[in-house]
């Protein structure tokens, strides 16, 4: 009962924050008052104002520092004396193939997954936002889920974290599912992806029902959950060049997007989306019943949309760069007004901005080289700040001089990206930075102390 009340309080807190966002938009001063990252779960509390920290889930690399995965905290508030500096490093043991992370709906905890070891590290980010601590480690993900491997997306639902897996413990291939945990990290349920042998009530729209998984997003208004599909352990852990030369391995990529009933967790439609659709970003607008995804291998933008009759469809709406050269679109980020989509392409190190005012006809309006390779991005809610990291996967990153590993902040003025600061993660002996999540004192009724931080291991 006590827990329920707490949850209610958090929900109200989140709702109030969302209301602030809405009000701010209406009165037209969103750029001054509203921060936070786009692409988050709509169930999450939002940051009101400037974010204070970015938490970077970082892959350990042999021969670099302590060689293990870590959560790196960087101060990003320009008013902080530590602006642009690493203020905390928390090593977690092992190289787990640190990949994606996600905050709980109340933003008190950050779940961060290891695609290799199947560990999920739960960090307390609310007790001291400048110095996250390791709250709990889920080590029995595979056992509890009945054989899922590779916990990927950690996505906030009310009181829950939905985890999309990538593989399984039988053949290390791509057949997999979703796993649901409480915010406390207790296993709730496994939801396996539909396959031809067991469609679990879904309809196969095209020719393909491969059972693969990757990302998960929701549109609560439409009671819809959407998943995409990548590849199994054998491929995502393999040397990238070796895999490209292995014709058998290259057959083992996902070619599907699945639309689910959010409330019942039942798959409804399996769409054929060839070439490994990865990140999914759903629109925010109250009339915008669609989500975008991009295909890693075929370099296409796909629109997953609902028609007037309430039927869902998937269609390719544009190309990214020159698909024959496999630019490899990786992370994408939708703007808060649903008018822009940023797309990173790993191989050429570029970010591209597409005007998606007409979602059926995206037009590229800008591109910029972020580095020799680029992967993840996090965009502030006002669209003014774009954070980028470089690492894709431990054995997919570039080699030699092209293996730059950085965290960079750019400002977007509507016309061009201007770099504000960069941190070289190799020079700092940290490793390979992957996914970023924002933190702020304001979420927890806290303020930084006079030193600009509450506690820190690494005050410069």
| 249 sits near other proteins (criterion: CB under 8 A) | yes
Among 5, 286, 287, 399, binds other proteins (CB under 8 A): 399
Parallel, antiparallel, or unpaired for β 266-272 and 203-204?
parallel
Residues of span 329-348 touching other proteins by CB under 8 A = 347
Q: What is the DSSP letter of 144?
A: H
| 63 sits near other proteins (criterion: CB under 8 A) | no
Question: C-alpha distances in angstroms, 331 versus 116, 205, 352?
Answer: 20, 26, 11
Number of amino acids touching other proteins (CB under 8 A): 73
Residues of span 141-160 touching other proteins by CB under 8 A = 142-143, 146-147
| 441 sits near other proteins (criterion: CB under 8 A) | no
Non-local (6+) Cβ contacts of 5 within 8 A are none
Helices (H), 118-261: 141-145, 233-236, 240-244
Among 131, 175, 281, 305, binds other proteins (CB under 8 A): 175
**CB-nearer residue toward other proteins: 132 or 439:** 132
Least separation in angstroms between CB 175 and other proteins = 5
264 to 283: interface string for other proteins, x by CB under 8 A: ----------xxx-------
What are the tokens at 194? 């539909």
| 234 sits near other proteins (criterion: CB under 8 A) | yes
**CB-nearer residue toward other proteins: 75 or 256:** 256
| 169 sits near other proteins (criterion: CB under 8 A) | yes
Distance CA 407, CA 35 (A): 19
Q: Which stretch binds other proteins (CB under 8 A): 45-53, 102-110, 172-180, 301-309?
A: 172-180
- For 373, phi and psi rounded to 5 degrees? -150, 150
- R_g over Cα of the chain: 20
Non-local (6+) Cβ contacts of 372 within 8 A are 349, 398, 401, 402, 403, 404
Among 86, 237, 259, 314, binds other proteins (CB under 8 A): 237
Helices (H), 28-76: 30-33
In contact, 213 and 270? CB cutoff 8 Å: no
| 137 sits near other proteins (criterion: CB under 8 A) | yes
Least separation in angstroms between CB 23 and other proteins = 44
């Amino acid at each position: 009962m006590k827990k329920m009340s707490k949850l209610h309080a958090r929900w109200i807190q989140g709702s109030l924050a969302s209301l602030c966002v809405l009000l701010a938009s209406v009165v037209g001063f969103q750029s001054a008052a509203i921060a936070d990252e786009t692409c988050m779960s709509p169930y999450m509390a939002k940051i009101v104002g400037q974010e204070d920290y970015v938490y970077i889930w970082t892959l350990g690399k042999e021969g670099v520092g302590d060689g293990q995965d870590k959560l790196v905290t960087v101060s990003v508030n320009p008013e902080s004396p530590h602006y642009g500096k690493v203020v905390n490093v928390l090593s977690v043991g092992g190289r787990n193939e640190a990949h994606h992370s996600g905050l709980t709906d109340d933003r008190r905890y950050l779940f961060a997954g290891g695609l290799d070891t199947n560990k999920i590290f739960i960090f307390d980010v609310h007790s001291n936002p400048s110095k996250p601590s390791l709250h709990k480690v889920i080590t029995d993900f595979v056992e509890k889920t009945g054989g899922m491997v590779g916990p990927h997306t950690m996505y906030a639902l009310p009181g829950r974290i939905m985890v999309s897996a990538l593989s399984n413990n039988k053949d290390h291939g791509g057949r997999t599912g979703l796993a649901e945990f409480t915010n406390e990290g207790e296993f709730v349920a496994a939801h396996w992806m539909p396959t031809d042998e067991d469609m679990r009530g879904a309809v196969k729209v095209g020719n393909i029902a491969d059972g693969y998984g990757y990302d998960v997003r929701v549109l609560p208004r439409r009671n819809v959950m959407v998943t995409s599909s990548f590849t199994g352990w054998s491929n995502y852990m393999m040397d990238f060049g070796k895999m490209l030369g292995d014709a058998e391995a290259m057959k083992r990529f996902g070619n599907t997007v699945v639309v689910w009933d959010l409330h019942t967790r039942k798959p409804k439609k399996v769409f054929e989306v060839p070439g490994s659709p990865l990140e999914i970003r759903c629109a925010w607008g109250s009339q915008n019943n669609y989500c975008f995804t991009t295909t890693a291998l075929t370099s296409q933008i796909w629109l997953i949309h609902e028609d007037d009759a309430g039927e869902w469809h998937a269609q390719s709406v544009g190309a990214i760069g020159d698909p024959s050269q496999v630019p490899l679109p990786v992370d994408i980020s939708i703007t808060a007004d649903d008018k822009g989509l940023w797309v990173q392409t790993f191989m050429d190190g570029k970010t591209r901005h597409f005007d998606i005012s007409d979602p059926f006809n995206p037009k590229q309006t800008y591109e910029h080289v972020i580095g020799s390779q680029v992967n993840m991005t996090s965009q502030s809610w006002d669209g003014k700040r774009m954070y980028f990291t470089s690492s894709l996967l431990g054995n997919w990153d570039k080699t030699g001089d092209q293996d730059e590993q950085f965290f960079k902040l750019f400002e977007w003025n509507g016309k061009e990206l201007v770099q504000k600061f960069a941190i070289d993660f190799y020079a700092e002996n940290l490793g390979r930075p992957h996914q970023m999540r924002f933190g702020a004192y304001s979420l927890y009724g806290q303020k930084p102390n006079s030193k600009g931080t509450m506690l820190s291991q690494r005050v410069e």
